[in-house]
Amino acid sequence: MNTLKIRRLLLASTVILNFLLAPLTAGAEVDVEDGKTLSPYFFVQSDDPDTDRLPLKSTDVNVKITGVIADVTVAQHYRNEGKRPLEARYVFPASSHAAVYAMQMHVGKRVLEAKIRGKQQARAEYEAAKSAGKSASLLEQERPNVFQMNVANVLPGDDIAVVLHYTETIVPTEGTYQFVYPAVVGPRYNGPAGSGSGVKGQWVQTPYLPSAVAPTSTFAIKVDLVSPIPLQTIASSTHDVDIKKPGRRHAVLDLPASTRNGNRDFMLDYRLAGKTIQTGTLLYRGEDESFFMTMIEPPARVTADAVVPREYVFIVDVSGSMNGFPLATAKTLLRNLVGNLRPIDTFNVMLFSGNNRVLAPQSLPANQANIDQAMAVINQQSGGGGTELLPALRTALAMDKADQRSRNFVVITDGYVTVEKEAFDLIRNNLNKANVFAFGIGSSVNRFLMEGLAHAGQGEAFIVTNGEEAKTAAATFKSYIESPVWTHLGLDIQGLDAYDVLPDRLPDLFAGRPLVIIGKWRGSEEGEISVSGITSMGKIRQTVTVGDGIISENAVALRYLWARGRIAELGDYSKLMGGVDDEAIRQITSLGLKYNLLTDYTSFIAIDTTVRTRREGGTVDQPSPLPQGVSELAVGAEVPSTPEPEFYAMMAMAVGVGAWLRHRGKAHGC
């Protein structure tokens, strides 16, 4: 870099920092109520040995997969290397399908079993224990895939471990099973109050390490996989793992501890021998309640003789968090999606960040000239600004729709927003206007948003982590939309005394992805479970005989999975635009307490009975690494357009430092 460029960058950074620091010196606070935003910020290590110590030392994950059920144990180790007691606060992700059913806290040789409580009661008990000088841990759910852990009164030299347990179902797609362990929460865009894109959740205002700084905590994972059918292939596309195969139906994977492993989701893909998906029924007989889960393979994919013309509106995120690798991957995806449309189709492209803009006022015929025009616009994009998803969806829904065409929205984003439920409700309230497909781009996608958008819009979600996957995902999407699906599904259960069956409404089925039915049963394990529907070849019916299923004492996970599914139906999509459904909140709380599950309204609390300190400590927000491939522009504000990449880095760092200084000023009453 030449001297003139360095001087310009230094001058720019000085001006930016003076601008950011001015409100702080005037005594202003960052407050959502003032129309400002709770935003992520860059962590800056203090030289004071009493403060800003990084307490999280390691995250160790142990996964046991039996058939289609994964049981996961996560151990987080905290150690205080400072000179005074501290409280550690840490925001971390989990699978959006996870049923978190237990937690323990290890203090020295003592193991304390956490209790499930109503969220407000758990918070009150935690604060009381913290004030009394007792060690305590509190696990709260901020989103179905975002948790916050608080650990109080970690004394100097203490090594405290918090262990949590969850289970989830692994449902195959096109014969491939995928287990995902989300490793880091991406920075969420949180717009000013009144913008429709912000929430008050303090978890959003969490610190991040600059991309060049390695985290101080390590991440390791071990997977033990046992399948009733011989394994054909097994591999991780995201991490270099050591794989051992003790037998044809057994594999053990090990990812050694490293500070560089935890900046992206861990993904494990495996296929079973043969071409058929494992179908049948798994049953668990409990003392008070018994549960079953049935998996039914869809009919074989067939080619339709006549396909109705379709309209595609590609809604593409070009915000700051998409800058770099995510946006480059999105461009690859779009080239493949738009480039493979049929001549009878029409399409449009909407780009959104802090505002939104469309390729054309109305959708265009998918001819070569229009496709070339769209490609030129897409190729010119660079990421910057906020992530105003709701205004983009509203604008797309308001666009004129051509008659006799099937309209499909294709949302492409990393999902780093805080308006998931508002987006779900917007889609559900406009089901007659468009189907919604979601493409999550990046190494640590907000899967809750992507899967929720697709669920609400009766579409499908796809996750893309690199350029090669973008091509494959585009081909899969094209194959899906060009092939008929199993529609107008009906469920018929004969001979088995089943009740509280989920889902309440069977969705249209994606060919190659089985239908999963879970519920409770009484009496003897007999009868048949049938699903009927319509394909392009006419009516079809598929039946599973319950007596051929497996009754297993190890299938206790079905208890938690059923409750998590019921909670999801009540909570993930119950909040309407007019207000919160109080009855749904009551039912979710009751289910969480009855089945010992973490929810939006229940939390896990563990308290040591021993008073360990009378000295007041400080609070440390444990910083997270930026997800791999995410630009530092995701932690900051909108930036001016400039051809100099060094300017973006300087601007991002300056905004991050300014946000951190505001955060520190507010904490100290400035």
> Is 477:462 a contact under the CB 8 Å cutoff?
yes
Burial of 476 by CB count in 10 Å (0-12 exposed, 13-18 middle, 19+ buried)? middle
Separation between Cα atoms, residue 109 and residue 126, nearest integer Å: 21
- pTM, entire model: 0.73
Determine the pLDDT at residue 254.
95
If pLDDT is split at 50, 70 and 90, which confidence band does 48 have? low
Query: What is the pLDDT, as a whole number, of residue 200?
Result: 54
For 97-156, write each residue's pLDDT tens digit.
889 999 999 988 889 999 999 999 999 999 999 999 999 999 999 888 888 989 999 888
Return d(Cα 208, Cα 621) in angstroms, integer. Answer: 10
Identify the sign of the CA torsion 549, 555, 556, 559. Answer: negative
Q: Each residue of 616-627: pLDDT tens digit? A: 778 888 877 777
Q: Where does the pLDDT of residue 283 fall: very low under 50, low under 70, confident under 90, or very high at 90 and above?
A: very high
Q: What is the DSSP letter of 579?
A: B
Band of pLDDT at residue 158, cut at 50, 70 and 90: confident
Which region among 274-288, 356-370, 392-406, 471-485 has the lowest average model confidence (pLDDT)? 471-485
Strands (E), 338-468: 346-352, 356-358, 364-365, 406-413, 435-441, 461-464
At 229, is the pLDDT very low, low, confident or very high (cuts 50, 70, 90)?
A: confident
pLDDT one-digit tens code per residue, 505-560: 787 776 667 889 999 999 999 999 999 887 766 788 889 999 988 888 878 999 99
Cα–Cα distances in angstroms (integers) from residue 455 to residues 180, 272, 436, 568, 572, in the given order: 19, 27, 8, 11, 10
Confidence of residue 233 (pLDDT cuts 50, 70, 90): very high
The residue-averaged pLDDT of 226-254 equals 91
Mean pLDDT, residues 322-326 taken together: 82
What mean pLDDT is reported for the chain?
79
Q: Does an H or E element contain 601, and which?
A: none
Tens digit of each residue's pLDDT (9 = 90 or more) over 437-469: 898 888 888 888 888 888 888 788 888 887 778
Q: How confident is the model at residue 190 (pLDDT cuts 50, 70, 90)?
A: low
| Residue 38 pLDDT | 59
Q: What is the pLDDT of residues 50-108, one digit of tens each?
A: 554 678 899 999 999 988 899 999 999 988 888 888 888 888 888 888 899 999 999 88
User: How many other C-beta atoms lie within 10 A of the C-beta of residue 27?
Assistant: 9
Minimum mean pLDDT range among 137-146, 177-186, 297-306, 316-325 = 297-306
- Is the pLDDT confidence value at 648 over 60? no
Position 504 pLDDT exceeds 90: no
First vs last Cα of the chain: how many Å apart?
39
Residue 434 has pLDDT above 50, yes or no: yes
pLDDT in tens, 388-417: 888 888 888 888 776 667 788 889 888 888
Tokens representing 555 are 């299938």
Taking CA 310 as the corner, what is the angle to CA 306 and CA 316, rounded to the nearest 5 degrees? Answer: 145
Asked whether the predicted pLDDT for residue 371 surpasses 80, the reply is: yes
Query: Is the pLDDT score of 663 beyond 70?
Result: no
How far apart are the C-alpha atoms of 366 and 337, rounded to whole Å?
Answer: 11
What's the CA gap between 459 and 437, in Å, rounded? 5
As a whole number of angstroms, the distance between CA 192 and CA 183 comes to: 28
pLDDT band per the 50, 70, 90 thresholds, residue 331 = confident
Lowest mean pLDDT among 39-48, 367-376, 577-586, 605-614: 39-48
Tell me which residue of 108, 109, 103 sits closest to 122, measured CA to CA: 103
More confident residue, 343 or 658: 343
Task: Kindly compute the dihedral angle of the four CA atoms of residues 489, 495, 498, 501, in this order, to the nearest 10 degrees.
Answer: -10
* DSSP single-letter state for residue 636: S
User: Any bridge partners for residue 631, and if so which?
Assistant: none
What is the Cα–Cα distance from 234 to 61, expressed in whole angstroms?
19
Q: Rounded mean pLDDT of 159-169?
A: 92
Residue with tokens 């549960």: 291
Q: What is the pLDDT of residue 456?
A: 80
Strand 86-93 vs strand 618-621: parallel, antiparallel, or unpaired? parallel
Checking if the pLDDT of 196 tops 60, the result is no
Question: Is the torsion defined by CA of 424, 428, 434, 437 positive or negative?
Answer: positive
Give the type of residue at 97.
H
- CA–CA gap between residue 662 and residue 39 (Å, rounded): 11
Tokens representing 347?
């399409």
The two three-digit tokens of residue 541, written as one number: 């019916």
Q: Which of 305-319, 486-500, 632-646 has the lowest mean pLDDT?
A: 632-646
Res 449: pLDDT:
86
DSSP annotation of 26? T
- Confidence class for position 665, pLDDT limits 50, 70, 90: very low
Report phi then psi at 126, rounded to 5: -65, -50
User: What pLDDT, on the 0 to 100 scale, is given for residue 307?
Assistant: 56
What pLDDT is attached to residue 23? Answer: 34
What secondary structure letter does DSSP report for 385? S
Are the CB atoms for 604 and 122 separated by under 8 Å? yes
Nearest Cα to Cα of residue 237 among 277, 260, 270: 270
